[in-house]
A and B are shown apart, each in its own frame.
Chain A
Amino acid sequence: MDWFLIITTLIKIVVVVFLAILPSVAYSVYFERRVSAWIQDRLGPNRVGPLGLLQPIADGLKFLLKEDVTPGHVNKFYFWLAPALVLVPALVTCAVLPFGSEMQLPLWLQDLIGTKANIPMVIADLDTGPLFIFAISSLGVYGIVLAGWASNSKYPFLGGVRSSSQMISYEIALGLSIVPLLMIYGDLHLGKIVAAQAKEGWSLLPFWTEGHAFAFDLKKIALAVPVGISFIVFMTAIFAETNRVPFDLAECETELVGGYHTEYSSMKFALFFLGEYAAMIVGSCFAVTLFFGGWTLPFGLSAQQLGAVGPGIALFQFLTLFIKVFLFVLFFIWVRWTLPRFRYDQLMRLGWVWLFEIALVNIILTAGLLIAFR
C-alpha cells in the first residue's frame, strides 16, 4: 500500500506544482502585463505568439539565457540560498490545499495495479491545514531577509529589513482573521471545511442548506458578517504577506531601486519573481478554500460529489478551483494597478492598530453570535 501512496503523491506533486502552479505563475505575469496595459489604455505584450500568449515562454528563456552575475561583495552562500528560500515555502504550502474530493480510479486501472483505494485530491491530507500554511509561508521571510543581508548593499538591506518587519506584523492579523472561520466550522481540516461549505453554503455565500438550493438561515446570514470582516482582514494581510501593491515597500522602485533583489540577475532573480507570484496564487487558493468553497460549485450543486468521483468529475473540480483562483489573481492584479503604495508608517499603523484589533474584536463577535444562535 505504501508504494501506491508514494507514487500517487509524487504524481499529485508533479501535476500541481509543474502543471498547475508554475505555468499559472508564468501566465499570471502575462495577465499582470496585459491587465495593467488595459487599465492604462495600452495593449501590453501582444507580439510573441497569438495575442502574445507565448510571451511567458520567451520571458522564461530570456531569464535562463541572461548573464548570471554574482557581485564580488556578497556573501555567496546566503546569496545563492535566498532565492530558493523564497520559492520553496510558497510551493510547499500548496500541499494541504484540497483541489477536489476523492478520485476513484477507473476499473481497468484498479485491476491493473491491484488496489481499490481512492486517491484523495490533496497532496497531504493534514488535520492542521491552516496552521501548516502559516508555519511554512512565514519561512518565506527568511529568503527575503537573507537576500537583503547577503547582497551586502544598502538598498537590498533596507528592502530586506522592511519586508521582514512587514511580514511579521501582518502574519498576526492573518492568523487571527481566520479564527472565526475555524470557530464556525470547528475543524482545522481544510478538506472538511470545503465539504461543509458544499453542503451548507460558502462562508461568504450561505444561501443554501443540504438538499435545498435556496434557503435563508438567519444564523448563517448573521455569521456572514464576522466572516465578511474576516475576509477583508485576511485579504489585506495576504496582500501584505505577498509583498504586493499597495504593500510592496520591500521593493518599491522609487526609494529602493529593486529592494531586496537589486543585486540579483538571471535565474536567481526569476526565482524571486516566481516566489512572489506563487505566493500570490497559493494565497488566492487558500482564500478560495476558506471563503468561497474551494473546488465546489455554489448552491449545493457539488453536495453529491463529496465522496469518491470519477476522473472526469475530479478534473472538473480541479478546473472549478482553478477558475476561482484565476479570478482572485485577476483581483490581485486589478488592485495593484489601482492603488498607490502606502507610506511605511501608515503600513505599520494599519497592521498593528487596525487589522490586529479588528481581527481580535471579530473573534469575540463571532463567539457572541455562536452563543446567541446555539
Chain B
Amino acid sequence: MATKLVERPKLNFFEKIYLSSILHGLALTFGHIVRLFRGKTKVVMQYPEEKWDSNLPEYYRGAPALVTDEHGRERCVACQLCEFICPPRAITITPEEIPNNDPWAKVEKRPKAFEIDMIRCIYCGMCEEVCPEQAIFLRKDYAITGESRAEMVHDKRKLYEIGGVRTGLVNKWNELK
C-alpha cells in the first residue's frame, strides 16, 4: 500500500480561531432557510400523497417474492441456497417431497414452508442472484408494514401473492423424464 502523506493546510491566526468559518457556516445554513421561504428550493416529495411508483427503475429492489411459471407450478424446489446466502438470515425454508400423485411429482422437492422475515430482510437481492431455478425475485413492493413481528414474516402464500406468475424463464423441468 502506497502511503500518501497529507499536507495539513497552514492556517493563520484568524483561521485558527475558526470564528470566521463558524460565521460563514451559519450564514450558509441561514441562506438555505431563506431560499426555502422564498420558494426557491425544490422540496422533497410528500410521500403518502405523492408516490414514485411509476418512476421506479427496472433494477429497483423491493420485497423478495416467489413466482410460479406459466403452468402454475411453483418454481422453487427448496434447494435452500437463498437461505444459505441470505446475509441477515431472513429466509427460513422447510422442504418437503412432492407426493407421487402430483402432476409435478418428477420435480421431487418443493418448499413446505417458505418464510422471509421482512424485519430482517435488507433487500440486497442475493437470493435472486443465487437462485438456480429463477424462483425468487425482488419485486417493486417497498411499503412492507405490519403491526406485529409475526405479521412482518411473509409466509409462502404471501410470497406467491406478491410474486405472481413469471413467464419466459428457463423451464428445465418440462423436458420429458
| Co-assembled chains A and B | yes
A39 touches B33 (CB 8 A): yes
B26 touches A38 (CB 8 A): no
B5 interface residue per 8 A CB criterion: no
A43 touches B43 (CB 8 A): yes
Q: Which residue of A lies closest to B16 (CB)?
A: A354
B26 touches A41 (CB 8 A): no
B36 touches A41 (CB 8 A): yes
| B29, B43, B44: the one within 8 Å of A338 (CB) | B29
Q: Which of A293-313 contact B (CB under 8 A)?
A: none
Distance of A39 Cα from B29 Cα, bound (Å): 5
In the assembled complex, the CB of A39 is this many whole angstroms from the nearest CB of chain B, namely: 5
B22 interface residue per 8 A CB criterion: yes
B157 interface residue per 8 A CB criterion: no
A38 touches B25 (CB 8 A): no
B120 interface residue per 8 A CB criterion: no
Q: Which residue of B lies closest to A40 (CB)?
A: B32
Distance of A38 Cα from B36 Cα, bound (Å): 7
Distance of A335 Cα from B42 Cα, bound (Å): 23
Q: Which of B27-64 contact A (CB under 8 A)?
A: 28-30, 32-33, 36-37, 41-44, 46
Distance of A209 Cα from B25 Cα, bound (Å): 36
A43 touches B22 (CB 8 A): no
Q: Which residue of A lies closest to B43 (CB)?
A: A43
In the assembled complex, the CB of A358 is this many whole angstroms from the nearest CB of chain B, namely: 10
Distance of A329 Cα from B107 Cα, bound (Å): 69
Given contacts A38-B32, A40-B32, A41-B36, contact A339 B43 (CB under 8 A): no
A35 interface residue per 8 A CB criterion: yes
B30 — which chain A residues lie within 8 A by C-beta?
A: 334
Q: Which of A38, A39, A40, A42 has the most CB of B within 10 A?
A: A38
Q: Which of A27-82 contact B (CB under 8 A)?
A: 35, 38-43
In the assembled complex, the CB of A329 is this many whole angstroms from the nearest CB of chain B, namely: 15
A43 — which chain B residues lie within 8 A by C-beta?
A: 43-44, 46
Q: Which residue of A lies closest to B42 (CB)?
A: A41
A334 touches B29 (CB 8 A): yes
Distance of A321 Cα from B29 Cα, bound (Å): 26
Q: Which residue of B lies closest to A38 (CB)?
A: B33
B22 — which chain A residues lie within 8 A by C-beta?
A: 338-339
A132 — which chain B residues lie within 8 A by C-beta?
A: none
B26 — which chain A residues lie within 8 A by C-beta?
A: 334-335, 338
The interface of chain B, by Cβ under 8 A from chain A, is 19, 22, 25-26, 28-30, 32-33, 36-37, 41-44, 46
16 A–B pairs (Cβ distance < 8 Å), ordered by A: A35-B33, A38-B36, A39-B32, A39-B33, A40-B32, A41-B36, A41-B44, A42-B44, A232-B19, A334-B26, A334-B29, A335-B26, A337-B29, A338-B22, A339-B22, A339-B25
* Extra A-B contacts (11), CB below 8 Å, given A41-B42, A339-B25: A38-B32, A38-B33, A38-B37, A39-B29, A41-B32, A41-B41, A41-B43, A334-B29, A335-B26, A338-B29, A339-B22
